[in-house]
Chains A and B, each alone.
Chain A
Amino acid sequence: MQVEMATKEKNRASIDIIADTEILITRTIGAPRDIVFEIITTPEHVEHWYGCAVMKMVHCEIDLRVGGKWRYVLRMPDQTEHGFSGEYREIVPPERLVSTESYEPIGPGHEMLATVTLEERNGRTTFRNRLVYKSKADRDGHIGSGMEAGMQESFDRLEALATKRGR
């Protein structure tokens, strides 16, 4: 019952700008960390939550070992496919996952280092993702991509509304 109640609270991620080339994303997730770790490192689970109606996940591969590669492909509403890929650097289930990440369309030399840590308390997990970029421009570009994605989502919502009204 308590878990039920807890998951109903609206959690909000916080974004902290730590340095010119570094940000930290923090959020509480209403589930134990072994489950969270499992679903962020297993392709059949990742496929269930990573994509959304707007950005559909069409490919997911994970070679979960140090030096192993991962690659996700998302399909945008305009049907273009965007690849994200990287390499695992540290794997400590169920508490820590360090990997590099590149957004393929911008080419090599812009990868970021993502350090995900999971801390569990009373069955809830604090998810932290520390992102370290090669440059301030890369950081700003990545945050800016949120703007684009956010706008795309809003457009999608608008479109859905418009279609509804049209009927």
Chain B
Amino acid sequence: MLATFTALAEPNRLRIVELLRSGAQPVGEIGERLHLQQPQVSKHLRVLKDAGLVGVEVRAQHRFYELRPEPLRELEVWLERFREVWDARLDRLEDYAVQLQKARARTKK
């Protein structure tokens, strides 16, 4: 999880991940699309690969980099649990607020 965060914390790496959402790309294409030098792209891709976010596929002697969804899914699950805890708390707040509102409406009558 920490590796996923560290990998995504760098703005250019996040841009690469965003770009790869539309499909696998070779290094040259990534550099061109994002206006980055090839060594820089390679360096970022290595970090993304180490974090398991990106995989390589060889097609007609070209190395295509593609997104691997597992770490992102893990991140989603992590965030989802936090959301559930808040939702449960706010569900209770809401139920209580509605009850209180009804009780007060009754006393006013």
List A residues at the B interface (Cβ < 8 Å): 7, 11-15, 17, 20, 25, 27, 29-32, 35-36, 39-40, 45, 48-50, 52, 127, 136, 140, 142-147, 149-151, 153
B109 at the interface (CB under 8 A from A): no
Q: In the complex the two chains form, is A30's CB within 8 Å of B94's CB?
A: yes
**Which of B17-25, B26-34, B95-103 sits within the interface?**
B95-103
Interface of B is mostly: helix
How many angstroms from the CA of A32 to the CA of B94 in the assembled complex?
Answer: 10
Give the complex CA separation of A154 and B89 in angstroms. Answer: 15
Residues on B with beta carbons closer than 8 Å to the beta carbon of A35: 97, 100-101
Q: Name the interface size band of chain B.
A: 20 to 34
Nearest-Cβ distance from residue B68 to partner chain A, whole angstroms: 21
Q: CB-nearest residue of chain B relative to A27? A: B90
| Any A CB within 8 A of the CB of B81 | yes
Q: Which residues of B contact A39 (CB under 8 A)?
A: 93, 96-97, 100
Question: Nearest residue in B to A14 (C-beta to C-beta)?
Answer: B83
A145 to B83 CA separation, bound complex (whole angstroms): 11
Contacts of B94 in A (CB 8 A): 7, 11, 29-31
Give the distance to chain B from A113, nearest Cβ to Cβ, in Å: 17
Residues of B within 8 A of A (CB): 2, 5, 9, 78-79, 81-98, 100-101
- Knowing A20-B9, A35-B101 are in contact, say whether A146-B86 is a contact too (CB < 8 A): yes
- Docked CA distance A29–B87 (Å): 11
A157: min CB distance to chain B, Å: 12
Identify the interface centre among B81, B92, B95: most chain A CB within 10 Å of its CB.
B81
Answer whether A13 and B96 are a contact pair too, CB < 8 Å, given A32-B101, A140-B5.
no
CA distance A7 to B96 in the complex (A): 12
Asked whether, in the complex, the Cβ of A146 is within 8 Å of the Cβ of B83, the reply is: yes
